């Protein structure tokens, strides 16, 4: 007798193996039995005839923590509708713990008024406990942000560490890993971390390796310096032996697109030679990030304050404008997503803004950066569709959103979110599996479940196996759809008929069924 019995499914178990027909019996929060269970009974029986039964998706590059969604709107519905049951936070160098002091949180907070949130933790242990108590809709695990450690110790100072500080830095990382963090992430494109040298990262990664954690990195350049950034990452992987993961692998600007072939070859080659490499991608050609990261690299060197100082200098500004005009980026395609200091800018194309202010697109961008002290999120169409296909086909790739969870209600805030937060996983299934037949169902699903689970050390999840946690999806392949677009992102995905998290139904017939049945996961 099971609590729930799913009958007659097409079972895709997350390992990449071919699908087979079978039944899944669930007892409590675990999978009790898989196979031919026609003689068995369940308190609840679900007929899965013609539909795929697979593990819940694991999103290894999620920002619901540092965008404060876990606190402000913890249902994370846009993620549940695309079949995600586990998210990993602390990405791209930024995590909500550990905090060296209460002041550290101010440097991490980006877009939310922190007065709404009671930040009553410092250590990783305390942070995870707060989440335990609050409850989470999706299972949540986190890495330690290298930028969070750095800012905790150095504040706004941009420099390398002295010997005493290094000791403290290492101690903080070790403690957080002991407390349950699953690894460390870096965001080497962001102003503060840009000053971190490779040796600092190598030493920290050795600690991560000691705890069998993962090192995930938003590499130092996704433009001209892309291949050097890949080389730097491979060097670290070889030097330390740490599990190394490149977050949202991509290269921006048409004149840089050809570099993707070489990057993928470098990664394969490094893997063959023993470097432990993987990467994730999201399936959209527009990229959403902090606006200043789209400026030429030298402008943001030295940090945000230095950048604003440079932009305010007449001669430097002229040089920036002229470089922007001759760069491979089409700045006229910039869309302002969030600008907390000037909400009237939200949802506006830079061309419209420039026109209304009677200035060039480049000048408009610089003025917005100055007026909002660099705190603007923007989106531009800068990526290659072909590169997405190549990366998806690569054996070391997995699928992730690089987004956060939202409800459709969030539209009212005027913020224009990236469609990846609503449709990454379902878009891969709809477009690259179903329509283009680039990947098989089992191989795509393995890149969303078993592969990320093994890679990030997510215990007893990611596979349909007896004794594993019952994070389970039922997918109607005929109905699978990812309607969210850059123009109209606030649209839930459909075709995921059922989402079960730890044996409880979180989504049924495209309707969110309530939550807080996720678990806070520890290393
Ligand atoms: Zn990133």
363 neighbors 351 (Cβ within 8 angstroms): no
- Taking the centre of ligand 1 as the mean of its atom positions, its distance from the CA of residue 91, in whole angstroms, is 7
Enumerate residues 6+ apart whose C-beta is below 8 A from 431: 283, 482
- Taking the centre of ligand 1 as the mean of its atom positions, its distance from the CA of residue 149, in whole angstroms, is 17
Angle, nearest 10°, between helix axes 198-210 and 163-178? 30
Give the other-Cβ count within 10 Å of 301's Cβ. 14
Question: Distances in Å between the alpha carbon of 501 and those of 100, 140, 292, 513, 519?
Answer: 34, 12, 38, 11, 9
373 sits in the region (left: phi over 0; alpha: psi -120 to 50; else beta) called left
- Taking the centre of ligand 1 as the mean of its atom positions, its distance from the CA of residue 62, in whole angstroms, is 9
Which pLDDT value is given to residue 110? 58
> The whole model's pTM is what?
0.95
431 neighbors 484 (Cβ within 8 angstroms): no
Which pLDDT value is given to residue 304? 81
- Taking the centre of ligand 1 as the mean of its atom positions, its distance from the CA of residue 65, in whole angstroms, is 14
Question: Distances in Å between the alpha carbon of 250 and those of 2, 226, 285?
Answer: 45, 9, 9
- Taking the centre of ligand 1 as the mean of its atom positions, its distance from the CA of residue 441, in whole angstroms, is 27
Q: E strands along 375-481, which residues?
A: 377-381, 397-399, 472-475
Residue located via tokens 């539209």: 411
- Determine what percent of the chain is predicted with pLDDT higher than 90: 79
pLDDT digits (tens, 9 = 90+) for 458-513: 999 999 999 999 999 999 999 999 999 998 999 999 999 999 999 999 999 889 99
- Taking the centre of ligand 1 as the mean of its atom positions, its distance from the CA of residue 356, in whole angstroms, is 32
- Taking the centre of ligand 1 as the mean of its atom positions, its distance from the CA of residue 51, in whole angstroms, is 35
Which pLDDT value is given to residue 290? 85
- Taking the centre of ligand 1 as the mean of its atom positions, its distance from the CA of residue 30, in whole angstroms, is 33
Helix (H) or strand (E) holding 452: helix 450-456
Question: Distances in Å between the alpha carbon of 38 and those of 7, 318, 403?
Answer: 8, 74, 41
Which pLDDT value is given to residue 343? 64
- Taking the centre of ligand 1 as the mean of its atom positions, its distance from the CA of residue 468, in whole angstroms, is 31
- Taking the centre of ligand 1 as the mean of its atom positions, its distance from the CA of residue 479, in whole angstroms, is 31
**Of 376, 371, 448, nearest to 79 (Cα)?**
448
Residue located via tokens 């044996």: 503
Question: Distances in Å between the alpha carbon of 510 and those of 52, 439, 473, 497?
Answer: 16, 25, 12, 6
- Taking the centre of ligand 1 as the mean of its atom positions, its distance from the CA of residue 157, in whole angstroms, is 22
Q: How does DSSP assign 268-287, residue by residue?
A: HHHHHTT--EEEEE-S-SEE
The segments of the chain whose pLDDT lies below 50 read: none
Which pLDDT value is given to residue 483? 98
- Taking the centre of ligand 1 as the mean of its atom positions, its distance from the CA of residue 303, in whole angstroms, is 17
* DSSP summary character for residue 29: T
- Taking the centre of ligand 1 as the mean of its atom positions, its distance from the CA of residue 192, in whole angstroms, is 14
- Taking the centre of ligand 1 as the mean of its atom positions, its distance from the CA of residue 304, in whole angstroms, is 17
- Taking the centre of ligand 1 as the mean of its atom positions, its distance from the CA of residue 187, in whole angstroms, is 6
- Taking the centre of ligand 1 as the mean of its atom positions, its distance from the CA of residue 151, in whole angstroms, is 17
28 sits in the region (left: phi over 0; alpha: psi -120 to 50; else beta) called left
Q: How does DSSP assign 365-399, residue by residue?
A: HHHHHHHTTT--EEEEE---HHHHHHHHHSTTEEE
pLDDT digits (tens, 9 = 90+) for 204-254: 999 999 999 999 999 999 988 999 999 999 999 999 999 999 999 999 999
Q: How far apart are CA 304 and CA 343, in angstroms?
A: 21
- Taking the centre of ligand 1 as the mean of its atom positions, its distance from the CA of residue 324, in whole angstroms, is 22
């Amino acid at each position: 007798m099971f609590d729930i019995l799913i009958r007659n499914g097409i079972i895709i178990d997350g390992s990449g193996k071919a699908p087979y027909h079978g039944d899944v019996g669930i007892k409590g929060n675990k999978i009790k039995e898989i196979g031919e269970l026609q003689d068995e009974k369940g308190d609840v029986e679900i007929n899965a005839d013609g539909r795929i039964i697979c593990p819940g998706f694991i999103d290894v590059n999620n920002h619901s923590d540092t965008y404060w969604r876990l606190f402000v709107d913890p249902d994370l519905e846009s993620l549940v509708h695309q079949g995600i049951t586990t998210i990993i936070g602390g990405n791209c160098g930024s995590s909500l713990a550990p905090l060296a002091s209460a002041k550290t949180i101010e440097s991490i907070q980006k877009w939310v008024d922190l007065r709404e949130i009671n930040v009553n933790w410092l250590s990783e242990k305390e942070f995870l406990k707060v989440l335990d108590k609050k409850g989470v809709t999706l299972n949540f695990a986190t890495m330690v942000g290298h930028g969070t450690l750095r800012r905790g110790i150095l504040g706004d100072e941009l420099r390398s560490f002295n010997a005493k500080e290094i000791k403290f830095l290492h101690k903080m990382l070790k403690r957080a890993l002991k407390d349950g963090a699953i690894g460390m992430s870096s965001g080497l494109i962001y102003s503060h971390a840009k000053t971190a040298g490779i040796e600092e990262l190598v030493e920290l990664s050795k600690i991560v390796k000691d705890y069998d954690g993962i090192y995930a990195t938003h590499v130092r350049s996704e433009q001209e310096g892309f291949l050097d950034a890949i080389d730097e990452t491979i060097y670290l992987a070889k030097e330390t032996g740490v599990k190394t993961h490149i977050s949202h692998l991509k290269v921006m600007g048409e004149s840089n697109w050809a570099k993707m072939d070489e990057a993928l070859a470098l990664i394969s080659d490094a893997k063959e030679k023993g470097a432990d490499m993987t990467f994730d991608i999201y399936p959209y050609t527009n990229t959403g990030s902090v606006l200043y990261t789209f400026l030429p690299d030298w402008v943001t060197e030295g940090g945000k304050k230095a950048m604003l100082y440079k932009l305010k200098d007449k001669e430097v500004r002229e040089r920036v404008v002229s470089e922007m005009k001759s760069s491979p980026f089409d700045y006229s395609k910039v869309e302002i997503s969030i600008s907390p200091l000037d909400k009237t800018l939200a949802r506006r194309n830079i061309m419209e803004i420039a026109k209304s202010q009677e200035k060039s697109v480049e000048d408009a961008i610089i003025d917005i950066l100055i007026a909002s002290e660099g705190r603007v999120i923007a989106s531009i169409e800068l990526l290659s569709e072909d590169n997405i296909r190549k990366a998806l086909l690569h054996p070391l790739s997995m699928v992730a959103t690089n987004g956060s969870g939202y409800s459709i209600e969030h539209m009212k805030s005027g913020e224009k979110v990236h469609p990846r937060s609503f449709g990454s996983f379902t878009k891969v299934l709809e477009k690259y599996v179903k329509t283009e037949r680039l990947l098989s169902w089992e191989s795509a699903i393995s890149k969303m479940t078993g592969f990320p689970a093994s890679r990030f050390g997510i215990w007893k999840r990611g596979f349909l196996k007896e004794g594993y946690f019952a994070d389970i999806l039922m997918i109607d392949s005929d109905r699978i759809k990812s309607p969210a677009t850059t123009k109209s992102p606030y649209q839930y995905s459909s075709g995921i008929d059922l989402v079960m998290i730890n044996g409880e139904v979180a989504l049924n017939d495209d309707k969110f069924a309530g939550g807080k049945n996720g678990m806070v996961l520890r290393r």
